[in-house]
Structure 1
Amino acid sequence: MAKSKIIKDLANSSVDTITALKRTKVLVSAFNNAEISKWLDYEISGYPTDATLPSYRKVHGSLRGSYFKGSMANHMTWNNVSIPLGKMPDDIKELLLSVKFHESVEALRMLTEKSKAVGSEISKTIPADFFSNIAHFNNDPYMIITSARVIVGEHIVSNIFSVIENKLLDMLMILEKEFGCLDELDIDTTAKSEEEIEAINNKILVLVYNDNRVSIGDGNKIKDSTIASEIK
């Protein structure tokens, strides 16, 4: 069977991620599956602040900033350099370097395009009241941090799109196998039994939620830092 154009377009990158998500939303509406629809809606419109993010939207960056050592009258200064983490415990390091993207795919696309256009970096700002903790873990009372942010490479953000598109491709291929050509954006579920529909739903749900949905950093103030909508 020839592949549906909607699948070929996505596989060939002939359509953007937001268009593929909207097309898939129309297709799966026939299933009335709240979990699948919620995932599609969140990717299209963005994740609420209280929503649990999928693991592919939680990434890690590197700590960079400025600091000086010594007195105000006599000191050495380092600007926009990698800041050492010293003997920082792994759990705190995880919280510090973790960056969570709640933005819609369209907002993420604009973020990455702006980053490329101006040659800037995507970053998360670290609150100033955490600076002393970083110095403490470096066992350096003379280390005075003046700014700090977690830098996320543009390629890491771009990988979010790859994961989403791969999930959509797998989802569309399941639907095509079960219902035939998808190019009319309409599928007829009446020929399937309730058990068959449930089995299809379960296959799709596994594709969507095949990751650890535990939110790292719940209740910790670092997770409430200004997240990667910043480019500096």
Structure 2
Amino acid sequence: MAKSQIIKDLANGSIDTQTALKRTKVLLQEFDDERLLEWVNYEIEGYPDDVEVPEYRRISGQSFCSYIKGTMSRFLKYSNVPLSLGNMPENERELFYYANMRESIGALKGTIHEYERKGTSIGRIIPAEYYPYIAKCNNDMGMVIQSAEIQLNMPQILNIFPKVENKLLDILRYLENQFGNLDELDIDVNNKSEQELKEIVNHIYVLIYNDQSVTIGNDNEFNNSNIASSIKTAN
């Protein structure tokens, strides 16, 4: 059987990831299963704050800060230096080494192009409410942090696109095997029994969520309850 055009287009880069996601969504809608569409919708529209992102969208980075030390009349200023976390507990440090990329695939592509045009790296601002606690962890309350951010690993960000495309190719190839050519963006689910459809849907679940990447929760953002309580103590 000849390969469907959508598969060939995606495999040779003739269509962008956003277009491939939309076409795949049209096909998956035939199953009338909302959970089956969640991943596709999140990649098209972006991930809400109350949904944990897939592992490939958790990006590591290096934290940097600018701060001053001393008195109002005599002080030293340090600009864009690595952020020391001092004696901060290990279970809290992760929040300063990773960031979640929640943007839609289309928005993420635009963000990357903009930063590449400027010749700068993509970063995430560390909220100012954490600065006193960071100073406390360094046993240095005279450390006045003026700004801090996580500068993210660009190769990991760029790797989001092939990760998504590989999932799409797996899904599309499986649908083609089950229903034939996909060029009309239409599959006849009426030719399958209820049990067959259930097995097909379950298999697609595995292709999408094999790393259990999309779950409800938000424990990778700057809202860790342990840190929140520590901030109150620091203040």
The aligned counterpart of 1:178 is 178
The aligned counterpart of 2:218 is 215
- Determine if contact 2:124/2:150 at 8 Å carries over to the other structure: yes
Structure 1 residue 31 displacement after superposition: 0.9
The aligned counterpart of 2:95 is 95
Whole-angstrom CA distance in 2 between matches of 1:199 and 1:125: 44
- Determine if contact 2:51/2:218 at 8 Å carries over to the other structure: no
Structure 1 residue 217 displacement after superposition: 4.3
Structure 1 residue 219 displacement after superposition: 8.4
- Determine if contact 2:39/2:208 at 8 Å carries over to the other structure: yes
Whole-angstrom CA distance in 2 between matches of 1:198 and 1:221: 39
The aligned counterpart of 1:114 is 114
Report 1:18-37 matches (<5 A): 18-37=18-37
SS, match of residue 184 in structure 2: coil
Whole-angstrom CA distance in 1 between matches of 2:72 and 2:83: 20
Percent of aligned positions with the same letter in both sequences? 45
SS, match of residue 22 in structure 1: helix
The aligned counterpart of 2:232 is none
Aligned residues between the structures: 222
Whole-angstrom CA distance in 1 between matches of 2:52 and 2:116: 29
Between 1:72-81 and 1:147-156, the stretch displaced more is 72-81
- Determine if contact 2:65/2:82 at 8 Å carries over to the other structure: yes
Structure 1 residue 91 displacement after superposition: 1.5
Between 1:173-182 and 1:50-59, the stretch displaced more is 50-59
Q: Deviations over 1:56-108 (max 9, x none)?
A: 22222211121122223333221112112222212211123331222211111
Report 1:125-164 matches (<5 A): 125-164=125-164
Q: Which runs of 5+ in 1 are unaligned?
A: 223-232
Q: Which runs of 5+ in 2 are unaligned?
A: 226-235
The aligned counterpart of 1:73 is 73
Report the aligned-residue RMSD. Answer: 2.0
Whole-angstrom CA distance in 1 between matches of 2:194 and 2:160: 34
Per the normalisation by structure 1, the TM-score is 0.87
Change (3 A) 1:116 1:66: same
